[in-house]
Amino acid sequence: MARETWATRLGFILAAVGSAVGLGNIWRFPWQTAENGGSAFLVVYLGIVLLVGVPGLLGEFVIGRRANKSPVGALRELSGQRSWGFIGMFSVITGISLLSFYSVVGGWIIRYLLESGVSLVGSDPAYFTNPGQYFGGVSAGADAALYHLLFLGLTALIVFAGIRKGIELGTKIMMPAVLVLLGGLAAWAATQPNAAAGYAFFLRFDPSVISENFFAILGPAAGQALFTLSLGAGTMITYASYLGEDRSLPFDGSAIAVLNTSVGVITGLVVFPLLFSQGINPTETGTGPGALFVGLAGAFSQLPAGTLIATAFFAVVTLAALSSSISMLEIPVAFLVDEYDVSRKRAVTGMAGLVAVTGTVCAFEPSIFGFVAGTLVNILLTAGLAAFLLFVGWVMGRDAIEELASGAGSLGRSLSTPWLFAVGIVLPLFLVFTLLTHFGVDGSIGFWRTVGIAVVASAVAFFGLRRPESVV
């Protein structure tokens, strides 16, 4: 059967933006920002989005569009080496790991949506009177598992319907809805008392926080930048594999990064003024995955028309989460379809069945949930993107330049050489370095030794590859 492609030019951008915009922007971003020094974190994160995220996105696009295959087949075919196919297999593992915890959080959100709006699940007064306790009850155990299955079912239904009728149609409806609702919420939040204090916390830039805490901020900021742009998992390779040649990849990549970052910033403009208007200081409400829920439910309970606002807010989050979770499920599904000729429907059923189990484990075991959502995912994404970019620089080489320029005219050509240098050498070094900071390496052995280890590790990776002459 012929491989599906996106029906429209906009379809691809919206699907990729849909993948990027998700719980990463709305749930993880404000929490990470509050935990890592407010605007200082924002500045480092924005720098990484621009300097690593955009070139990294282009790297994944180039692989996917060139090969018209999902990561395993793409890396194997473009290199002519089976071993690269094994490296591609990590993307399947990453996709399953991501969805296992994401679907649990998606379940919490659906629960909050139902509870705050129509009280379908029987209004629990603790939602308003004791948000911390309510979150504790919702976020673990059988309830969490049940809602995880509901969220996963919705995800599977969309992926089941295919690229055009499922993912493309779904994101064409969901993304505009997210943007309109979020814009409305931000405008409304601006009218709340004391909103200015929220903006100040979020946007006031204090350079000393960066210089004092650079290493502490770097790892989380890089992890957040990759997570929010859906980089390192092979999603963007997979989505680009359904592209025709007529797209300008640099244009699409920049549009996706700008839209994604805007949603992150607008979310901050909703969340922080809301919290401050109710006298809730995000650094004091406790950190961790519950911060958004506990803080906001508290704020909603005190607001006029809080029910309506809460419903609108959780509707945004649900749509954004779904448009991302479908891109996670598409990674293993495309793998089965491309490599084993399994029908899409069987692939979806099989993979959703697997994640139903792994997600249930996450729902029941907060320690496993925490490990998967934090450390494991950060490491898999960082290592995954480093591997993809090394592949672009050292295996594809000039082919990558040609692919980037195709459809992009002179823009692609003038950017290509510096870009290839960046993705082949500079960015992998940076990624290996941040990978090491996850293991606390900079803290225990110091900056220059860490750089030394990153250089040696990258050199070993370079020379292990077959066509080193292909970097320009």
For the bound state, the minimum distance from the C-beta of residue 235 to ligand PFF, rounded and expressed in Å, comes to 3
Contact with ligand PFF (CB under 6 A): which of 103, 228, 358, 382?
Answer: 228
Nearer to ligand PFF, 25 or 416 (CB): 25
For the bound state, the minimum distance from the C-beta of residue 377 to ligand PFF, rounded and expressed in Å, comes to 8
Contact with ligand PFF (CB under 6 A): which of 13, 15, 17, 23?
Answer: 23
Site for ligand PFF contains 233 (CB under 6 A): yes
Site for ligand PFF contains 235 (CB under 6 A): yes
Which stretch, 22-30, 57-65, 105-113, 423-431, contacts ligand PFF (CB under 6 A)?
Answer: 22-30
Helices (H) and strands (E) in the chain, counts: 25, 0
Please answer whether residues 81 and 414 qualify as being in contact, where contact means their C-beta atoms are separated by less than 8 angstroms.
Answer: no
Integer angstrom CA distances of residue 313 from 19, 114, 251, 309: 19, 12, 31, 6
Give me the 323-342 binding string for ligand PFF, x by CB under 6 A, dash otherwise.
Answer: -x--xx--------------
For the bound state, the minimum distance from the C-beta of residue 196 to ligand PFF, rounded and expressed in Å, comes to 28
The token duo for 414 is 């003038």
For the bound state, the minimum distance from the C-beta of residue 316 to ligand PFF, rounded and expressed in Å, comes to 13
Nearer to ligand PFF, 223 or 412 (CB): 223
DSSP annotation of 470 reads G
CB within 8 A of 468, min separation 6: which ones? 394, 462
For the bound state, the minimum distance from the C-beta of residue 445 to ligand PFF, rounded and expressed in Å, comes to 30
Name the CA radius of gyration of the chain, rounded.
22
Please answer whether residues 45 and 224 qualify as being in contact, where contact means their C-beta atoms are separated by less than 8 angstroms.
Answer: yes
Nearer to ligand PFF, 151 or 227 (CB): 227
Which stretch, 9-17, 106-114, 130-138, 229-237, contacts ligand PFF (CB under 6 A)?
Answer: 229-237
**Ranges within 2-21 binding ligand PFF (CB under 6 A):** 19-20
Burial of 178 (0-12, 13-18, 19+ CB in 10 A): buried
For the bound state, the minimum distance from the C-beta of residue 358 to ligand PFF, rounded and expressed in Å, comes to 16
CA distance 110 to 112: 5
**Ranges within 188-227 binding ligand PFF (CB under 6 A):** 227
CA distance 224 to 203: 18
Contact with ligand PFF (CB under 6 A): which of 24, 223, 250, 393?
Answer: 24
Nearer to ligand PFF, 328 or 351 (CB): 328
Give me the 305-324 binding string for ligand PFF, x by CB under 6 A, dash otherwise.
Answer: -------------------x
Site for ligand PFF contains 171 (CB under 6 A): no
Residue (of 111, 119, 117) closest to 143 by Cα position: 111
Crossing angle (nearest 10°) for helices 82-116 and 291-302: 20
Find the residue with minimal CB distance to ligand PFF. 24
CA distance 324 to 228: 10
Please answer whether residues 339 and 72 qualify as being in contact, where contact means their C-beta atoms are separated by less than 8 angstroms.
Answer: yes
Residue (of 423, 44, 383) closest to 222 by Cα position: 44
**Ranges within 95-124 binding ligand PFF (CB under 6 A):** 98
Residues at the interface with ligand PFF (CB under 6 A): 19-20, 22-25, 98, 227-228, 230, 233, 235, 324, 327-328
